[in-house]
Amino acid sequence: MDLYQKDVVSIMDFSKDDIEGILDMAEEMVPYAKGEKIKRSLDGKILGNLFFEPSTRTKLSFESAAYRLGCDVIDVSEMSMTSMAKGETLADTIKIVDAYCDVTVLRHPYEGASKMAAKFSDHPVINAGDGAGSHPTQTLLDLFTMRQAKGSLDGLNIALVGDLKYGRTVHSLAQGLTKYGMKISLVSPETLKMPDEIVQHLTENGCSPRIRTLEDAVAEADVLYVTRIQRERFPDPSEYQKVAGVYRIDNALLQNAKDDLIVMHPLPRVNEIAPEVDKTHHAKYFQQAANGVPVRMAILNAILGGEM
Amino acid sequence: MGAQEPIKEIRLMPIKNGTVIDHIACGQALNVLKILGVNENNIYSSISVGMHVGSATLGGWKDIVKIEDMELDEVTAQKIALVAPDATISIVRDLHVAEKYKVKLSDRVVGLARCSNPNCISNKGEPIESEFSVVSKYPMQLKCCYCDKILMNITDNLL
């Protein structure tokens, strides 16, 4: 596996071996991510953290990952604070930031923004979410969390629940799951179902998804991956109101689940998962968020050529 | 009264100078006219259109378009390939076919159509050309190289 100077735009750019390699490195990064050990493999490097959409976990975990490796961070959190507010194109902004740092992390509201940014950058670009497109580093930390809990990813039964239309995390994740031959169930309102091109991709890769009710999916699943129905992605607020709160995971529902079911969520949650679930052994979403640091450390270290 | 001579019906008049676009998939002639821009008052010569004409090559029926006094450029021929991938172009000069070629669709379609996803970065005024990979020719399916969406309604999104 050689990820040196490689862009991280889509999970589809990575082979199963690449993914396993990153997850192995992430495992080694865990004590460094917790501050139990010190590592300075990226000393002298600079990361440009460009977030043109709100973020807590992704932005902070990239910063934390960089600092844990001795890498400095320069960042932009609002478009209004950049020359883009004066009409500068994203392409020009990227060229400038690329001149100031060794790797650019980009979150942007438009699909394909990171792919375009990669064309205008000499240094690697990491996609931290592009509109309803994809979120490959989230997928890597999701897979890491599943592997941590289950030991192996091959052949697991996973149910994807909630906003499957606009949810970029489930788009990337679904594509990543095909590399492990997982059995995929989809649970969503009709108006928020998985886009056809992703269903087609899953089918072509031997993971033809099944449409399930929430109850059936919970009973069968090894992994329940819940997503928020995202108000901000709805062009029409009344359409949001029709589907808001349609799924709720609580302890009563989980009574029919396998004992070793894990419940994941990319967070933030609104009311999809009742707080009472937090205390059960099923809940893995806070561990999942914490895993963002070692996984992103592994990615940064690999593409910037840090020593392990 | 002797035996009647069979009526020789000339469906499409030959042209002296111009372009013949033949072997257009049946039903696509109007889209070819759209690509040629006939609604934009930029053509100052005759156009003949044959629809649902018998074709041995396409195994049934085809459409055909003849344009007087206009030779197709390469970009227009590429656009035609998007709606009629088997079309042939004949450039006619002084009643003779001076050039004849089949339209060619490359694996990458660059700058010919816009992505149908309004939230795609290629529709946001950035200094990039739209770019698609050809997923399938029959039916024609193009995938945006930026947002990975399959292009819907190709003829409505031609540039």
Question: What is the per-residue pLDDT across A223-273, written as a single tens digit (0 to 9) for each?
Answer: 999 999 887 777 788 878 888 878 999 999 999 999 999 999 999 998 899
- When CB atoms are compared, the residue of A89, A132, A196 closest to B126 is A89
Contacts of B108 in chain A (CB under 8 A): none
Please write the tens of the pLDDT for every residue from A117-160: 999 999 999 999 999 899 999 999 999 999 999 999 998 999 99
Please write the tens of the pLDDT for every residue from A67-77: 999 999 999 87
In this prediction, residue B8 has a pLDDT band, given cuts at 50, 70 and 90, of: low
A159 within a domain of the structure (yes/no): yes
Same domain for B143 and B112, yes or no, is yes
By CA distance, what is B119's nearest residue in A? A110
| pLDDT value for B3 | 56
Contacts of B147 in chain A (CB under 8 A): 111-112, 130-131, 133
Nearest Cα to B80, choosing from B128, B129, B22? B22
B13 within a domain of the structure (yes/no): no
Contacts of A91 in chain B (CB under 8 A): 126-128
- When CB atoms are compared, the residue of A110, A195, A197 closest to B121 is A110
CATH number at residue A225: 3.40.50.1370
Top-confidence residue, A251 or A56: A251
- When CB atoms are compared, the residue of B120, B125, B143 closest to A111 is B120
Question: B114, B121, B128, B130: best mutation site toward chain A, by most A Cβ within 10 Å?
Answer: B121
d(CA A194, CA A12): 17
- A145, A283 in Cβ contact below 8 A? no
**Considering its fold, how many domains does chain A have in total?**
2
Question: pTM for the whole thing?
Answer: 0.88
- Whether the bond into B139 is cis, omega within 30 of 0: yes
In this prediction, residue A111 has a pLDDT band, given cuts at 50, 70 and 90, of: very high
**Considering its fold, how many domains does chain B have in total?**
2
Same domain for B28 and B96, yes or no, is yes
| pLDDT value for A134 | 92
| pLDDT value for A245 | 79
- Would you call B128 an interface residue with chain A, using a CB distance cutoff of 8 Å? yes
SS3 (DSSP) at B97: strand
Nearest Cα to A105, choosing from A153, A52, A149? A52
| pLDDT value for B45 | 81
Write down the mean pLDDT value for chain A: 93
Same domain for A83 and A177, yes or no, is no
| pLDDT value for B57 | 67
| Predicted interface score ipTM higher than 0.85 | yes
